[in-house]
A and B are shown apart, each in its own frame.
Chain A
Amino acid sequence: MDYFTAELLNMKYVVSKNVDAFFTIIYDVAVFILRFFKEAFKPPFEFGEIIRQCYQVGYRSLALISMTGFITGFVFTKQSRPSLAEFGATSWLPSLVAIAIIRALAPLVTALICAGKVGSGIGAELGSMKVTEQIDAIEVSGVNSFNYLVVSRVWATTLMIPLLMCYTAFMAMMGAFLDITLNEQTSFSIFLTNAFSKITFLDFTSSVIRSIVFGFTIGIVGSYQGYNTSQGTQGVGKAANMSVVISMFLIFIEEILIVQIVNYIRVA
């Protein structure tokens, strides 16, 4: 066997090993998600823990979301003004900004910030519980650790991220209003009437649905990474890191897919 064939065979081995690993992970994740659905609607419900986790999601992200939302609205309005002014159409600014915020910016900004703050938090928290044997301890005390730890966290992100998205939209609108009232001296009621004149029910529901999907993604990815941590303390950092990277990646893909579907519905 010459060198070239040997290299080729080796490459084939490496590739097939990686492909195997890839599909093993896909399979594992699928099993993890199925297990969530199996246990999410089955007693015992950990209501106390779900509420505590909801509070954690809000608490971890609120400050950052308030600031980012407000600044996004403010800056977006400021930057859009010149191009509208060219056509003498600055009066359209409120409705243009509202559409951009509610259709696109609010869900995406919220999801990305929460992937960073909340997703990494879940990954690190469950990861350190795993490597310090706390998850084993829960299991040997006769409590279902998946239900107690994972189901409660996934419920929390799935419920809270749509709420936080509404809050981000509100803050962004406030930012937009600040800029508009400073420049065009528009009153708040006129701003609101203009802003919502072009927003449809579909715009709003599509954003809420996307946020639910994003929330679920952040919860599942963070929990999966944390719950399956290995390699000690080093693994905890990796779990936190991977939670952020993977959920952000998935959020972009989901965003593109759902927007395509909604646009299809909008035209039909």
Chain B
Amino acid sequence: MPIHTHIDMSKEMIRVTDLHKAFGDNEVLRGIDLIVHKGENVVVLGRSGTGKSVLIKVIAGLLKPDRGTVFVLDEEVERLNHTQLRALRLKIGFSFQSSALYDSMTVRENLEFPLVRNSNVRRKEINMRVEEALEAVGLSKAISQMPSELSGGQRKRIGIARTLIMRPLLMLYDEPTAGLDPITCIEINDLINEVQERYHTSSIIITHDLTCAKATADRVAMLLDGQFAKEGSFEEVFDTDDERIISFYHYNFIT
């Protein structure tokens, strides 16, 4: 278990209440309740296709909920207009499942993209932040490469560096370790914990990788059939006789 020293249980960074989301007949989320406290890492576990990505996309305002409310940093996401939503998003770092690097831009341009447009930060400060973020993910030498020249793991790191550049209060990681070898996975887990310590962020980490969950979670929430079946520390969640959770646990270590 990670030891995160900055958790402040009195302050809520995210509060999701009774969230529902369907695509046509496909009811993906059916009543999600979730709170993330300041400085906390919450891991959302679940099988492929259970709506984990949909959940954080709703939190970031990329998808609209059908029912329920989402408060992020004390603002209700659905009620914000475009300008307010953009202002809120500057405080959120979103690391995509597919990394989603801009493939027509170099790593440097990828990183400075939001900074150049959103604030009147001076060139010197921008360069400094780019170097700092790349150093934080251990990829300083990739600064002038194109995304197509990077490996999957390196892309993930650059994706994380790109979110760090705006100094977010909140991090949303979508499958940070999916498709990576075990050693790279451990490196990414360490990186997530380092980011936590260094920038005092609060995070939601979405994964189906139990090693990652164990290494990064202050709290685990298990998503099954559109609802959180169980919530608590890693050990608490898997100390259960719910067949579905037990099989999730076992298959994770067989495959």
Contact = CB atoms under 8 A, between A and B. Distances in A.
**Same assembly:** yes
Interface of A: 44, 129, 132-134, 136-144, 148
Contacts of B87: 142
Contacts, number: 55
A74 B114 CA distance: 51
Contact of B62 (A132, A140, A142, A143): A140
B100 A142 contact: no
Contact of A140 (B82, B92, B103): B92
Contact of A134 (B60, B82, B103): B103
Nearest to A139: B62
Contact of A141 (B82, B98, B113): B113
A142 B166 CA distance: 10
Contact of A137 (B90, B92, B96, B118): B96
Contact of A133 (B90, B96, B162): B96
Given A44-B117, A136-B62, A141 B100 contact: no
Contact of B166 (A134, A137, A141): A141
Interface string B108-127: 00000110011000000000
B230 interface: no
Contacts of A129: 102
With a 10 A CB-CB cut-off, give which of B96, B162, B166 has the most chain A CB atoms: B96
The interface size bin for chain B is 20 to 34
B228 interface: no
Contacts of A137: 94, 96, 100-102
Contacts of B90: 141-142
Contact of A142 (B57, B103, B114): B114
Contact of A143 (B86, B94, B97, B162): B86
B103 A143 contact: no
Nearest to A52: B104
A201 to B, nearest CB: 42
B89 interface: yes
A134 B110 CA distance: 11
B9 to A, nearest CB: 27
A47 to B, nearest CB: 12
Given A140-B92, A143-B113, 17 more contacts: A44-B117, A132-B98, A132-B100, A132-B103, A133-B100, A136-B100, A137-B96, A137-B101, A140-B60, A140-B62, A140-B94, A141-B113, A141-B114, A141-B162, A142-B117, A142-B118, A144-B82
Contacts of A144: 82, 86
Contacts of A143: 86, 113-114, 117-118
A139 B62 CA distance: 8
Interface in B34-77: 57, 60, 62
Contacts of B57: 136
A44 B60 CA distance: 23
Nearest to A133: B100
12 contacts: A132-B98, A132-B100, A136-B94, A137-B101, A139-B89, A140-B62, A141-B89, A141-B90, A141-B166, A142-B86, A143-B86, A143-B114
Contacts of B103: 132, 134
A124 to B, nearest CB: 13
A163 B203 CA distance: 51
A134 B62 CA distance: 12
B102 A134 contact: yes
- Residue from A134, A141, A144 whose CB has the most chain B CB atoms within 10 Å: A141
A133 B98 contact: yes
Nearest to B96: A133
Contacts of B89: 139-142
